[in-house]
Structure 1
Amino acid sequence: MLADRLTRLRAQYGSALVTTGTRLIDLPFRYGMHLLIALQLTLDEVGAFYIVFGTITFVSGLGRLGIDKALTREMARALAHGDTASARASMIRAFLLVGLFSTGIAAIMAAIAWPLAVHVLHKPAMVPLFLIGAAIVVPQNITTVCAGALAGLHRVTLSQVVYTWLWPAAFCAMAVVFEMSDAHALTAVAASMVVSTLIGGGLLIASLPARRDDVVHAYTRPAPLVATGLSLFSLEIVQLLISAAPTFVLGIVAPTAEAGLYSIAWRVVLVIYMFVGGVASMVSPRFARLYALGDKAGLAQESAKAVGYALALAILPIALVTIESGRILGLFGPSFVGATLTLRILLIGQLAATLSTTTPELLGMTGYARSLVRVNTVALVILLAGLAILAPPFGAHGAAAAVTLTMVFSAIAVTIVARRRLGFVPLGALYASMRGRPAYHAAESATPSASEVQDIPSTEEARAELSRMS
């Protein structure tokens, strides 16, 4: 009896626990990095570092345009048909495209470093920092493509290593050995990205399957990586701006120290998102398969299980951080205790995001990606307007309020869309399952219209993938 129950629990939650464990490895390295920065730099230097780091994170996204995610899908599709030649060709094309775009973005960043620091931020001392930041773009994006290719090869664990904690681990090693300033910290980031590129490239080469040119393949013409990447990147850009825009705007309208306070508060909040995001990435392909198979009841049950698991992971950390905000910020240094209110404001937005966990992925994987794009477009307007109105008078608190308003709107909007289009939302499905009621009811529009559909898998592809996963 006990053995059977353990077997069922393993089948239901085994993969989730592995994903959570992988995310836990990220914790000491990524947050060790932020802790070392806070402890070794002054508050003004912390602010300057995160202004540049956030800006580079955003512009790096413009250098890859979602091509890494498009490559993951394209390689997985090619390998499902045994077409290693097409998978390799797509990989080479992705590296060339991202290398070209990233080099252009890096050159533009280097060219605008002086006017950006002097005329926009009114901080001439930051010119060298932006020049160093420009050197981060190319290795960061090449590393990301390595991770995307590894995911396409179904080397998920290696992909997560390269995506998440490899370069922060290298940074921590450098930060312990060398003296840090804002310029030194950015240089260490650039060097860490180079190290990550070399290791990620080595892992990718070792993981590549042998060519099979003697096999006749049924694989169709590969999809254009740029067009596919752009459709996927449109869903990512709001998250990039939520991470980057507040510190940049604070750099313009407030003292650099305000950007430092906000940045550390935001990094504490991201501890919670790290687990929630892991659950969302884990269930996305399951949503796509279940929807393609027409299993709406299974889709509702899967989403209920996922949001329940996310809540179990997130509620206790949210409560702990809310109660002990000042003490947790004090770990980064006494000067950061002033961000306590900022952190608590951000936690409201994170709670809203947690309650709507997996709903954006549910819409994206079931053919309603265009509805999701519209929600994200409005969210982007709210974010930028909120920062423009609230950041100048209230500093870090105002920036946190703008981000929280954006996250609350997004949570409400995707919930309404999911309810109208699919007939359920994950949180409602969880509540129904706990009450012993059916989690799924017929939606107003059970099938997406032609204007809504954005490249969902066919039933045959879904069944083949389901067999392979089994």
Structure 2
Amino acid sequence: MINRILPPLNDAHFKELFRGSGIAFIFKIAGLLLSYIFTLLITRMYGADTMGLFALSITILTILAMLGRLGFDTALVRFVAEYSSQGRMDLVREVYIKALRIVLPFCFLLSVLFFFSSSYVADNIFHKNHLSPYLKIISLVIVPMAMIFMNSEGLRGLRKIKEHAFLQDISILLFAAVMLTFSFFIAQDNHAPLIAYIISIAGVAGLSVLLWIKHANISSFSNGNNLKSVNLLTVSLPMLLTSSLFLVMWWTDTIMLGIFRTEGEVGIYSVALKIATLTSITLFSINTIAAPKFAEFYGKGDMNSLEKIIKQSSKLIFWSSLIIILCIFLFPSSILGLFGASFKAGIYALLFLSFGQFINAASGSVGWILQMTGRQKACQNITLLAAAMNIVLNALLIPKYGINGAAVASMICTIFWNLTSVLYIRSHFHITTLYLPGL
């Protein structure tokens, strides 16, 4: 059975994929455990309403920081992987500096604008005036949040997988959980979870800068290669649009629940979503190391190796995800009950979301394959259709069916996006990313 799942370990590229994704998997598991611990701390100490306000705030912060990065974080993975594999560290450093010169001022402007418009957003969009202080708090860390992703994705392109995984999966939650635990014994304020998270983001941003400087030798930067910022934007902006549409697809349900329903329902749904995402943990882990490999093979024109690494990763993702979804389908009530009795109301939402995530995992690394092989516009168009579908379905289903309607909308759009991407890759590269045993 093991031999059917795993290719021979004397395959150099699979060994790198397996070792790198194994490291990432350990960090992902640790990050998920910390995420669940942090969620448990909030739900047990502050309740579902505070969890809902926290989840809504972090969702908005994630969207703002993504917009501020202008797609350069995703572009950095591609450029850094390609240039570093050619030994051109001068180009690696130059593309990084040029990206920062655009991203940092834009993020700062975004931060100022959102700070002063937070009351309007809370009152007129979400109809929750008590959300305004939360929005003001998150506006303060749009720049640090963007820096964390820029630096961690740059490190990912350099194949510094441990550093990348620590920054994105563990660091913020680790420091935030420690601070929240201590703060509970000092003052039990409902803003405490968000404040702990925000302080953690600021500290991790500084750490990310130090790690990038260490591994990229940024101090020896030379501006003699004439890389044009407009050329970088040509690649990054389609990636920004794709990333924006991804967030619309993944976070529309949470945002629209915040608009149409109570913060308590948002809290229950956010917990169900966290659990369902566990189904795709191997996909996320393998993507960490596989994305630079896709860019490397495509850049060299080595399509045979590209196909081989895609098929190897898809098989590994399928079998590991199957085990996880079986556990969720067998024990949904017990799993949700860990967070409190009120969270058992999310059983059906959990099942719908988990099935969508299983199809996401079984389809393979379709998004990264498209973006690392110059097909970012195709990825953008597919994601645009799925995002539009998600908005319409959520608008129709949430007012009547609440969190279950949001989960069904998310499931349908996730399946549509993945299977459409699978068909596109099959038609253009003659590579099947979807793994089904026996086929």
TM above 0.5, one fold?
Answer: yes
Unaligned runs of 5+ in 2: 1-7
What does the per-residue CA deviation read over 1:401-434, in whole Å, with 9 as the maximum and x for residues that have no partner? Answer: 1111110111221122222222231235x65xx6
Letter in 1 for 2:236: G
**3-state SS of the aligned residue for 1:18?**
helix
How much does 1:84 deviate?
4.8
CA contact (8 A) 1:47 1:258 kept: yes
1:404 is aligned, of 411, 417, 421, to: 411
Task: Return the letter of the residue paired with 1:126.
Answer: L
Deviation readout 1:428-459 (Å, 9 max, x if unpaired):
5x65xx67xxxxxxxxxxxxxxxxxxxxxxxx
Aligned to 1:53: 58
User: Do residues 35 (structure 1) and 35 (structure 2) align?
Assistant: no
Selected match of 1:270 from 256, 277, 280? 277
Separation in 1, partners of 2:105, 2:276: 34
User: Which residue of the partner structure matches residue 457 of structure 1?
Assistant: none
Q: Residue 147 of structure 1 is aligned with which of 144, 152, 156?
A: 152
What's the counterpart of residue 164 of structure 2? 159
What pairs up with 1:14-25 in 2 under 5 angstroms? 14-25=19-30
Residue in structure 1 matched with residue 371 of structure 2 by the alignment: 364
Task: Say whether residues 1:286 and 2:290 are aligned partners.
Answer: no
Q: CA deviation at 1:276?
A: 1.3
Check the 8 A contact 1:284/1:361 in 2, yes or no: yes
CA pair 222-395 structure 1, distance change in 2 beyond 3 A = same
Task: Confirm or deny that 1:385 pairs with 2:392.
Answer: yes
Amino acid in the other structure paired with 1:270 = T
Note the 1:302-317 alignment, pairs <5 A.
Answer: 302-317=309-324
Alpha carbons of 1:94 and 1:419: their partners in 2 closer, same or farther (altered >3 Å)?
closer
Deviation, 1:142, is: 1.7
User: Which of the numbers 217, 221, 231 marks the counterpart of 2:227?
Assistant: 221
- Alignment correspondent of 1:107: 112
Structure with higher Rg: it is 1
Task: Find the counterpart in structure 2 of residue 452 from structure 1.
Answer: none
- Give 1:155 deviation, angstroms: 2.6
Q: Which runs of 5+ in 1 are unaligned?
A: 436-470
* Pick aligned residue for 1:117 from 122, 125, 128: 122
CA deviation vs aligned residue, 1:244-266 (integer Å, no higher than 9, x gap): 32122111111221111111111
Shift of 1:68: 2.2
Q: Distance in 1 between matches of 2:265 and 2:35?
A: 22
Q: Which has the higher contact order (CA 8 A, sep 6+)?
A: 2
Q: Distance in 1 between matches of 2:382 and 2:331?
A: 34
The amino acid across from 2:238 in the alignment is S
Contact 2:83 2:92 in 1 (8 A): yes
Alpha carbons 2:82, 2:299 under 8 Å: kept: no
Find 1:93's aligned residue among 90, 94, 98.
Answer: 98
CA distance in 1, matches of 2:171, 2:221: 34
Cα distance in 1 for partners of 2:18, 2:62 equals 33
**Cα distance in 2 for residues equivalent to 1:79 and 1:140:** 25
Residue type of the alignment partner of 1:71: L
Alpha-carbon contact 1:74-1:222 (below 8 Å) kept: no
Task: Identify the residue that residue 350 of structure 1 maps to in structure 2.
Answer: 357
Distance 2:351 2:132 in 1: 33
**Deviation digits for residues 380-421 of structure 1 (CA, Å, limit 9, x no counterpart):** 111100111001111111111111111011122112222222
Question: Equivalent residue for 2:210?
Answer: 202
| TM-superposed deviation, 1:76 | 4.7
Partner secondary structure for residue 364 of structure 2: coil
Distance 1:178-1:405 versus aligned 2 partners, 3 A rule: same
1:132 corresponds to 2:137:
yes
Report the residue type matching 1:348 in the other structure.
Answer: F
Task: Kindly state the Cα deviation for residue 174 of structure 1 after the two structures are TM-superposed.
Answer: 0.6
TM-score normalized by the length of structure 1: 0.83
Distance 1:293 1:93, change over 3 A: closer
Alignment partner of 1:68 is 2:77: no
Match of 1:447 in 2: none
Counterpart in the other structure of 1:468 = none
Q: Is the 8 A contact 2:9 2:15 kept in 1?
A: yes
The 1-side partners of 2:96 and 2:430 are apart by 39
Shift of 1:140: 0.9
Secondary structure at 1:427's aligned position in 2? coil
SS of corresponding position for 2:191: helix
Q: Structure 2 length as normaliser, TM-score?
A: 0.88
Q: 1:175 aligns with which of 171, 180, 189?
A: 180
What number of residue pairs does the alignment pair up? Answer: 426
Distance across 2 between alignment mates of 1:82 and 1:355: 35
One-letter amino acid of the structure 2 residue matched with residue 144 of structure 1: F
Q: 2:244 aligns with which of 212, 237, 240?
A: 237
> Closer, same or farther in 2 for the Cα pair 1:273/1:81, shift >3 Å?
closer
Offset of 1:213 from its aligned partner? 8.1
Match of 1:332 in 2: 339
> 1:43 deviation in Å?
1.4
Q: Which moved more, 1:114-123 or 1:70-79?
A: 70-79
- Letter of the 2:153 counterpart: G
Deviation, 1:377, is 0.8
For 2:289, give the aligned amino acid.
Answer: M
1:249 alignment counterpart: 256
- Aligned residue among 182, 187, 200 for 1:192: 200
Q: CA RMSD in A?
A: 2.7
State the SS of the aligned residue for 1:202.
Answer: helix
Per-residue deviation, 1:86: 4.7
Q: Is the 8 A contact 2:151 2:209 kept in 1?
A: yes
Pairwise CA distance, 1:87? 3.9
| Pairwise CA distance, 1:152 | 4.3
